[in-house]
């Protein structure tokens, strides 16, 4: 595995915990954001557990939908994840064209 930043490790760990391993199980950046902010077990993931607890908390507090999208694009550029074509979805009553992401 390519060396990743702490933020990228958290995103990778979340994708793994969500079982996003194929186009059928791929998740949006919004689903990732929700999972990261709500799942207490993420810090125990093998790829994340080496991150200091204070760093982990600070990182998840800083992550927003735009930073998650940027990290996902970086992981895609490094050929670590794949993405789907944009699909129309409703988020908070607003129609958006969103991609889904999954691990290679």
pLDDT at 92 over 90: no
Say what angle helices 65-77 and 29-38 make with each other, to 10 degrees: 110
Cβ atoms of residues 103 and 12 within 8 Å: yes
Q: Please, what are the domains in the chain?
A: 6-103 (1.10.10)
pLDDT in tens, 38-50: 998 999 999 899 9
The β-bridge relationship of strands 101-103 and 81-83 is antiparallel
Number of H helices, E strands in the chain: 4, 4
Q: Whole-model pTM?
A: 0.91
Contact 36, 27 (CB under 8 A): no
- Measured distance CA(48)–CA(46) in Å, rounded: 6
Residue 61 pLDDT grade (very low, low, confident, very high; cuts 50, 70, 90)? very high
């Amino acid at each position: 595995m390519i060396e990743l930043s702490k933020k990228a490790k958290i995103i990778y760990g979340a994708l793994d915990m969500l079982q996003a391993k194929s186009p059928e199980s791929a998740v949006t950046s919004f689903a990732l954001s929700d999972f990261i902010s709500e799942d207490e077990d993420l810090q125990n993931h093998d790829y994340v557990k080496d991150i200091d607890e204070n760093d982990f908390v600070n990182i998840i507090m800083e992550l927003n939908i735009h930073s998650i999208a940027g990290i996902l694009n970086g992981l895609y550029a490094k050929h670590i994840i794949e993405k789907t074509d944009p699909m129309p979805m409703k988020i908070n009553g607003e129609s958006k064209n969103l991609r889904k992401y999954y691990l290679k």
